[in-house]
Structure 1
Amino acid sequence: MRKSLLAFGLFALLTSKVFAADYVVDTTGAHASINFKIQHLGYSWLTGRFNTFDGKFSYDPAKPEASTISVNINTDSVDSNHAERDKHIRSEDFLYVKKYPTANFVSTKVESLGGERLKVFGNLTLHGITKPIIIMAEKIGEGKDPWGGYRAGFSGTTRIAMADYGIMTNLGPASTHVELMLNLEGVKQ
């Protein structure tokens, strides 16, 4: 009986670890994106993205609360589809990319909300300031890809106040917060 319990315990331990995996965000194949939007004077949405970033995450579908994620963003890669505006966003008024060439997010805790929904807690460093944020996320799917690999994908959103990160340029009362949308597809390592 003791051997059976030991064997079962070992089997349970091994099978639970089989599902845990480390992933690298697939930026090479452009299967990931970091987008943003902010209201323009309260009349419309200005949208954009960061073209250069990297990241990694660890995910176990049996233990989503053990997941971790880290993402690094090249702030100079901001792209709002308007060269003059992008120059202004890169300036001291906003991202100040000469002084702060990167932004990053590192998770501190993940909560499962049931189904494929997750609440990701972590620290966002932007404009030289680190603040805690929460990303509401959802697992989109996972499985084998056509090239013999294994992938998992997630989507998440969060909203940050520019003033929390020392960005004090006044764009009007409707434009104090930026919404971030992350779509991350990772390749299992």
Structure 2
Amino acid sequence: MLKKTLAALAIGTALLGAGQAMAADYALDIKGQHAFVNFKVGHLGYSYIYGSFKEFDGSFSYDSKNPEASKINVTLKTESVDTNNAERDKHIRSGDFLNVSKNPTATFESTSVKSTGEGMADVTGNLTLNGVTKPVVVAAKFVGEGDDPWGGYRAGFEGTTTIKMKDFNIEKDLGPASQEVELIISFEGVRK
């Protein structure tokens, strides 16, 4: 889910700021570990808990001259959640939160890209998490693109969105400071 959101925002920003003259397809650079799906949630109103999803994959296509035609798809393994605390991760995987035994994946599929300024875009897409699909908007930023040292061509993006846990049937109430989760996505894509 987070991955899809990240991918969607990356595509949108790429479309807005890239110098490509025609549509190109990219694979997220998972093997090189240049892709991240992170999250942040309030803890009792005193601090934040940060975490990430370690296993995901996806691809995107974009055309800087026709950003509305851009697409992104990301699939994330919910069991790969990691908050640097094994007991907390076990609880997040349970039916109280991600219910990974019933919903082993989360997905994001873009539906539209809208420019919001130079190198910036709102990427709208369907996020499926915990068996629920809802539209989300990712504020995306194009980071850069160009040749890499290994003979490839890359494009990079980052983006954020905030989701309400109850919108995705996550009913565990951890107090008023913990109702929303900020998703922070950053990745490079390698042109296919």
Greater relative contact order: 1 or 2 (C-alpha under 8 angstroms, separation 6 or more)? Answer: 2
2:115 to 107, 112, 115: 112
Which 4+ residue blocks in structure 1 deviate beyond 3 angstroms? none
1:50 to 28, 48, 53: 53
Counterpart of 2:151, as a letter, is G
Matches of 1:152 and 1:19, distance apart in 2: 14
Tell me the CA shift for residue 60 of structure 1: 1.4
Q: Deviations over 1:22-43 (max 9, x none)?
A: 0000000000000000000111
Matches of 2:105 and 2:72, distance apart in 1: 17
Match status 1:98 vs 2:101: yes
Counterpart of 1:158, as a letter, is T
Q: Deviations over 1:57-96 (max 9, x none)?
A: 0011222222111110000000000011000000111001
Counterpart of 2:91, as a letter, is H
Matches of 1:182 and 1:70, distance apart in 2: 14
Matches of 2:37 and 2:93, distance apart in 1: 16
Work out the number of aligned pairs and report it: 174
Counterpart of 1:153, as a letter, is G
Give 5+ residue unaligned stretches, structure 1: 1-15
Identity of aligned residues (%): 58
Match in the other structure for 1:88: 91
Matches of 1:186 and 1:171, distance apart in 2: 36
**TM-score, length of structure 1 as denominator length:** 0.90
Larger Rg: 1
Equivalences for residues 1-189 of structure 1 within 5 A: 18-189=21-192
